[in-house]
Structure 1
């Protein structure tokens, strides 16, 4: 990474937030993309603002954006942008969405930002350095065993039937038959910030694209946690979209075993 990369990442998050906040709980237009997922004018305005900054300051860098696609595809340095991760939450007026910004070097995430522009919370992680929330260090919390651990996922509807079986087996291990099992639904990228700050133990998801997970890896791992796919492999540009995030890396084998 260049010394200026952190400054640029903060500038991108500021620009995205400036585009998003005036529209939050306000009036905005929306439509359905080809995959039937929603997109609003806030998504597009935020990504356009970030892309303009990258193109001006680092024209040789690549960009992978959820809304406007790929630029300089063969570049070793790629900025990966998800202007609003959790568009459904944004549309519902729930401030648990976030802007995701990652810098990937040769396919590996080396810098990540999770920014919640309404609450004013910004997690930043860099490979080889600790994660911060609004400039202060954060750490994941210890988790001695899976039973009783808090588990989060955005929605069980995002799993295929086979994936749902694996997730439900994990949920059973965590919560058993308890009525008040420690399982959290909704939250998208915000859950990973909470995990990095020691409030959640485990996040399990599937069907993610590179713009959904690239920024999360440096944030979680810089806070002492780990991320992998459902086979336990590190996440990179070629990952299959299954994601496990753990605050306590020692629990990985138990999670994989529980999921079958």
Structure 2
């Protein structure tokens, strides 16, 4: 039986990134229609989201016809299979429509329900982060290399990111701010890019809530294979999304969970 390391090559992930870039980049920073998925609130989707996911799905089906696919824009297909690809064509659509290059294409592979391989591609900057079973790798303007998370163990020395505190429910927001008061530096707004900076040893913690599987599956192997930890707020598996805690190492992860929970429990 093949495992992800023998089955998924960096060359294939580069092809996925190239196909995604061909669809997304020509539509970046150009005027265009933005649709809203929800009548209550604002959840934007663009032509770039849809066309990029179509192209990625076609490539996966051609290469791995026996695999399932779960995508943000076109849903689930064959997800009862042993191997399922999870696709977010433009993670950070709000950044995309604002002309900010902190969005990325996320493509992850699950094997028997666990995330085993993943990539994040940011074509405007020209960066690719990927993990296929032998560590986490970077390709971009700084050359090529293998990534490792930081060894920070004290909250007082840690850097914390989240996309925005608006994503937290009231009790979660209070917990997040309790954690935030204990860290050295807190920043907002980077979507998937923050997780890759965690894998690259630039920051220490990412805490979010309300995520879907396509928001996180690709990022789990990137962080874990660089030495980090990704769980739910309850310390359990993160593949289903929800509240997510991504941390540079196990010692710091324990301190983050302690700070988040206080007297509360988040299942």
Structure 2 counterpart of 1:190, from 184, 190, 193: 193
Given that 2:136 and 2:222 are in contact with CA atoms closer than 8 Å, whether structure 1 keeps it comes out as yes
After superposing on structure 2, the runs of 4+ consecutive aligned residues of structure 1 that deviate more than 6 Å are none
Given that 2:53 and 2:88 are in contact with CA atoms closer than 8 Å, whether structure 1 keeps it comes out as yes
* CA shift for structure 1 position 4: 4.5
The yes-or-no answer on 1:250 pairing with 2:251 is: yes
Q: TM-score, normalised by structure 2?
A: 0.90
In the alignment, which residue of structure 2 is the partner of 1:201? 204
In the alignment, which residue of structure 1 is the partner of 2:149? 140
Given that 2:160 and 2:206 are in contact with CA atoms closer than 8 Å, whether structure 1 keeps it comes out as yes
Given that 1:15 and 1:50 are in contact with CA atoms closer than 8 Å, whether structure 2 keeps it comes out as yes
Given that 2:216 and 2:241 are in contact with CA atoms closer than 8 Å, whether structure 1 keeps it comes out as no
CA-based RMSD of the aligned residues comes to: 1.4
Structure 1 counterpart of 2:127, from 121, 124, 137: 121
Structure 2 counterpart of 1:160, from 138, 158, 169: 169
SS of the residue 1:143 aligns to: coil
Structure 2 counterpart of 1:34, from 29, 32, 38: 38
- Deviations for 1:85-137, whole angstroms, at most 9, x for unmatched residues? 0000011110011100000001100001011111011100123x110111411
Q: 1:240 to 1:90 in 2, by over 3 A?
A: closer
Q: Aligned equivalents of 1:240 and 1:54: distance in 2?
A: 23
- Deviations for 1:135-175, whole angstroms, at most 9, x for unmatched residues? 41111111030013110000000111111111111111214
In the alignment, which residue of structure 2 is the partner of 1:210? 213
Given that 2:213 and 2:241 are in contact with CA atoms closer than 8 Å, whether structure 1 keeps it comes out as no
**How many matched pairs?**
251
In the alignment, which residue of structure 1 is the partner of 2:264? none
Given that 1:28 and 1:42 are in contact with CA atoms closer than 8 Å, whether structure 2 keeps it comes out as no
* CA shift for structure 1 position 259: 1.0
Given that 2:106 and 2:119 are in contact with CA atoms closer than 8 Å, whether structure 1 keeps it comes out as yes
SS of the residue 1:235 aligns to: coil
Q: Aligned equivalents of 1:38 and 1:53: distance in 2?
A: 25
Structure 2 counterpart of 1:8, from 12, 35, 53: 12
Q: Aligned equivalents of 1:197 and 1:240: distance in 2?
A: 22
**Structure-to-structure mapping, 1:47-126, within 5 angstroms:** 47-126=53-132
- Deviations for 1:184-228, whole angstroms, at most 9, x for unmatched residues? 100000001111111111000010000000011100011111111
Q: Aligned equivalents of 1:10 and 1:205: distance in 2?
A: 28
SS of the residue 2:56 aligns to: helix
Q: 1:98 to 1:208 in 2, by over 3 A?
A: same
